[in-house]
Structure 1
């Protein structure tokens, strides 16, 4: 049995990455031997990472009573870490918004980006990846075209996610499906999206190769 965590990071019903999430989930449910968990970042209670969380850490150490926001932060962070720990494969479906990821996805990453959890430091100060036994899948939609050499340096959504889940945590990239240009080329949008959804469906079949 392979545990698959599918993260949804878009609350727009007509969003292309929302459709990618829905298509991937629908196809994955047809594959035997998968235990699928979904995690909708816009439905979860996920307060922003900041001083309140650090206050909560200090109060917990000292046995002090937490405020409501501090308690919510610790609960949200632990849940984010727990669903990631349980997964063999992590699928992240997200759009590019203003050159980067939605704030909800950034918050999720803030929760899990922790020394001793996704990575640790060795005695000589080097970072050691702690999740090399996991794989991840990138499902991204961006209305513009950022795959050209000129535009690629501006792309801070897919690169960010791959650097965190792959570079920091050490997960292996199982697949990457990017749909782009549907806003830049409105006359071709329907065909661009349809072709991309076929690639999403095909991507699900790669789960069979890691089915344990």
Structure 2
């Protein structure tokens, strides 16, 4: 079983960073095969006109610019990492109601017809990654699980919808929230969440 952990926080003291570190340490302790894709250290050019220019040039067999070639290479690297993974673990924070920009770029790279989804004969979108499972590890300082705040949460929700479109099964989800909103209980909230991260690794161990 190949596990890919997509790390999407470059803050050393970030709570989702601690979730990532805890997951990696526990997975190695359990002898699981784990690889990391750090979206903040990888070359991740934004998805935009350079990409569409590059596609047109590929179709016409024209020479690519350095920027176009770099973008296509980065996109392929992300796709290759996902292609060989059986389990994909996303470790990320909620920043300003959504996911960090490099993680969004990662999803832009793998949202590709013929790779992660296709359209069936009825024109309906179908995921092509039903053989893969996903795990969400998300940290958010506020409390977004209440009915009035949940509609504003566009980080874990985004990732859920994306992997759903890919056809991946959501195997587990660990959310740490409220540590900034409730500083007196922050240590307890974080510690309890990290124990759930360890438990998530043990669940996957049973699948191996």
State the TM-score, normalized to the length of structure 2. Answer: 0.98
Matched, 1:130 2:134: no
- Equivalent of residue 141 in structure 2, options 137, 140, 143: 143
Residue matched to 1:97: 95
Report the RMSD for the aligned CA atoms in angstroms.
Answer: 0.8
How many pairs were matched up?
A: 208
Residue matched to 1:183: 180
Matched, 1:18 2:22: no
Residue matched to 2:38: 40
Matched, 1:198 2:198: no
List, as ranges, runs of 4+ consecutive aligned residues in structure 1 with deviation greater than 4 Å. none
Report the Cα offset of residue 210 of structure 1.
2.1
Report the Cα offset of residue 30 of structure 1.
1.4
Secondary structure in structure 1 of the residue aligned to 2:41: coil
Secondary structure in structure 1 of the residue aligned to 2:22: helix
State the TM-score, normalized to the length of structure 1. Answer: 0.96
Cα distance in 2 for residues equivalent to 1:143 and 1:69: 37
Cα distance in 2 for residues equivalent to 1:179 and 1:109: 22
Cα distance in 2 for residues equivalent to 1:129 and 1:209: 26
Secondary structure in structure 2 of the residue aligned to 1:29: helix
Q: How does 1:154-169 map to 2 (within 5 A)?
A: 154-165=152-163, 167-169=164-166
Report the Cα offset of residue 196 of structure 1.
0.6
For structure 1, list consecutive stretches of 5 or more residues without a partner in the other structure: none
Residue matched to 1:170: 167
Per-residue Cα deviation, 1:128-155 (whole angstroms, up to 9, x for no partner): 1110111000000000000001100110
Per-residue Cα deviation, 1:79-135 (whole angstroms, up to 9, x for no partner): 111100100000000000000000000000000011111110012101111101110
Cα distance in 1 for residues equivalent to 2:143 and 2:190: 13
Cα distance in 1 for residues equivalent to 2:97 and 2:207: 32
Report the Cα offset of residue 209 of structure 1.
2.7
Residue matched to 1:73: 71
Question: Bigger CA drift: 128-137 or 59-68?
Answer: 59-68
